[in-house]
Amino acid sequence: MATKTKKPTVSNRVKKPRFKRLPKGPHGGVELLLIHSVEHLGAQGDVVEVKPGYAHNYLIPQGLATVATDHHKRMVEKHRSKLIEIEKAKQVELHKFAADIAKQSVTVEANATEDGHLYGSVGAAEIVSALKKIEINLSPEQIKLEGPLKELGLYTIKFRLSSEVEGQLKVWVVPAVEVE
């Protein structure tokens, strides 16, 4: 004869915390050590204090930060010079890449009226797809437009590769050629 097991009821279940407890900072937030530089927050290796939701929902799952234990802090201090060298090398590479992009100009075709007004507009997505044609990979978030481009002509567009590296790119908006 088989014995039935009882299902646990609410009263006899052990309630597990939803998140692992993170160390509190001096201002009531969560202390984290940044693994990667985060814009508007800090550089790689910095110990920052953020709200628990920002830590649990963004920084830790994205791999941008970890818990700021004494061991981690000692390791960062020990390797700070190496981290600075790595970051400088990364910035040099980004500056070279930005200079290469700035030398380029891209052409975006769009449907326009006789007067040169576009029927739609040209945005970051169209510029990114034009850049991909010349084997330059940027994301639409890296293109900084002051507004959509609504007329034919030459535009100087800003782009941002990191918090310290920015550049400009020439974009030609030309009328679309109809194939018959």
Q: Where are the domains of the chain?
A: 19-93, 98-175
pLDDT value of position 147: 83
Residues 6+ apart with CB under 8 A from 73: 33, 47
Q: How far apart are CA 96 and CA 98, in angstroms?
A: 5
- CATH superfamily ID and name for 19-93: Ribosomal protein L9, N-terminal domain (3.40.5.10)
Same fold? 19-93, 98-175: no
Query: For residue 129, what pLDDT is reported?
Result: 92
Q: Which residue has the higher pLDDT, 7 or 43?
A: 43
Q: Give the right CATH number for 98-175 from 3.90.25.10, 3.90.1300.10, 3.10.430.100, 3.10.450.50.
A: 3.10.430.100
Percent of all residues in the chain with a pLDDT value above 70, rounded to a whole number: 86
Residue 10's pLDDT band, with cuts at 50, 70 and 90, is low
Q: Which two tokens stand for residue 78?
A: 């020990």
Query: Under 8 Å CB-to-CB from 39, ≥6 apart: which residues?
Result: 162, 163
pLDDT of residue 58: 92
Nearest CA among 8, 2, 62 for reference residue 32? 62
Q: How are beta strands 153-160 and 65-67 bridged, if at all?
A: unpaired
Concatenated DSSP letters of 158-173: EEESSSS-EEEEEEEE
